[in-house]
Amino acid sequence: MNIVTEVNDWISMRKKMANQTIGFIPTMGNLHAGHMSLCERSKYENDVTIVSIFVNPTQFNNQHDLMHYPRTLENDIEQLTKAKVDYLFAPHAESMYQDHYEIQVMETELSKVLEGEHRPGHFNGMLTIVLKLLNLVRANKAYFGEKDYQQLLLVKKMVASLFLSTEIIACETIRNENGLALSSRNSRLDKEQLDTAEHFSALLRSHLNDENVIAELIKLGFKVDYIVQKWQRRLGAVVLGDVRLIDNVNYN
């Protein structure tokens, strides 16, 4: 696997990939089976698979969350090498934000609800870095998990609105054997909290109405930001200890 950390080096390397189909998986590292399933699909559908690892500071409205976001680059490289990923692009913040974040991407409707309401500025940072990465990689297809469903909708909207050529591929959420959506933040939960967290996805899938789901989650010790039905989904965001978890399920 080729590992590239400098933007200019990446731009030079990208020029050598003409006439190859490219699949791209943008990540913030601390890779798990969900990320690896995206890599597997990309390898099946494309000539070249590229993964980026970049803990994007501009999408964290909570500096404590940014400081404690798990960083496991050595293990991530090991997993990607084993999966035969072709390129890892792991740039530094200084090179990705040479403008000091003076230029931002903003969406004015979809980004204002749910995660946007509870995490001010989060989606500006997310869309800005995704646009930068899509411009640098110029992939045929980019793969996003459905766990971050609002993010997925916003990325699709941005790509369509700005006439980008990359096709955004939505991939089903990968869960553990008890239904908990895999997330890098799960690694910050202790064993007891992990057992409790599994009730989150189970209650989202239940036939209880939203108000009763909220009541049950509170009884279990969760702080609930929202449980809501939207986009043919039931979506939720909760905090357990100091770890914030999001999930969604099909709910027609």
Catalytic residues: 35
d(CA 248, CA 161): 25
Whole-angstrom CA distances from 136 to 1, 26, 96, 153 are 18, 12, 10, 21
CB neighbours (10 Å) of residue 238? Answer: 25
d(CA 12, CA 186): 37
CA quadruple 218, 220, 222, 224: dihedral sign: negative
Tokens read off for 64:
């404590």
